[in-house]
Amino acid sequence: MARPHRLETADVLMALAIGVAVAGLAMLLRTPWHSWGDDFAGYLLQARAMAADDVRAEVLLNGSLVMASDSLPVPAAYSWGFPTLLWMGSRLGGWDLMPLKMIGGLSLGVAAAYTFALSRSFLSRSPSVLAAALVGLQPTLLQSSDLLLSDLPFLALAAATLYYMDRSYRAAADGATARGGPLLAAVLTVAAYTVRANG
């Protein structure tokens, strides 16, 4: 008699990532424009400066505008990780806001998948799915996927970093070699820092 099919970890990860990404991308249909904030303009200007190979001029111009402003100052340049993601996204879909905002929805899906993978070190499958759903389907985070901000890419990188740190620690505790885990955790930590330094 054949055993009933049970979802393997990879199946659950894929279903979570796709489900959360679809939910996040569905938020884009609500506001095809950008609904909040000024930070996104700085990110876009830096990404466009990268595309035009004119980064120095953009930083100097923004720095001079910041110094002349009476309002709360922003940095002359944000961390370059998120503008780099926007620049890469523009190579695929141009500078239209809709495709660029997909970065947030996809990042939220990745964050949910890594939350599940990390939770499996401590919990059984069902609570791990619940933990991932609490991250990936949390209303505030889903709304954030409709914004051009660095928060969700940072969340995805932070979740991945924690997963590989935990995996490396567990391998070391068992006396095994964590093949590539420590190096990957270090690379992801640097990547997270470049996306959102104050994170």
Distance of CA 26 to the CA centre of its chain: 17
What is residue 153's predicted lDDT score, i.e. its pLDDT?
95
Q: What is the mean pLDDT of residues 151-167?
A: 93
Query: How many residues in the chain?
Result: 199
Q: pTM for the full model?
A: 0.81
- Dihedrals phi, psi of 61, to nearest 5 degrees: -65, -50
Nearest CA among 18, 16, 37, 17 for reference residue 144: 37
SS3 letters across 17-38: HHHHHHHHHHHCCCCCCCCCCC
User: Contact, 32 vs 98, CB < 8 A?
Assistant: yes
The tens digit of pLDDT for each residue in 66-78 reads: 777 777 667 778 8
- Dihedrals phi, psi of 67, to nearest 5 degrees: -65, -30
Judged by average pLDDT, the poorest of 94-108, 140-154, 165-179 is: 165-179
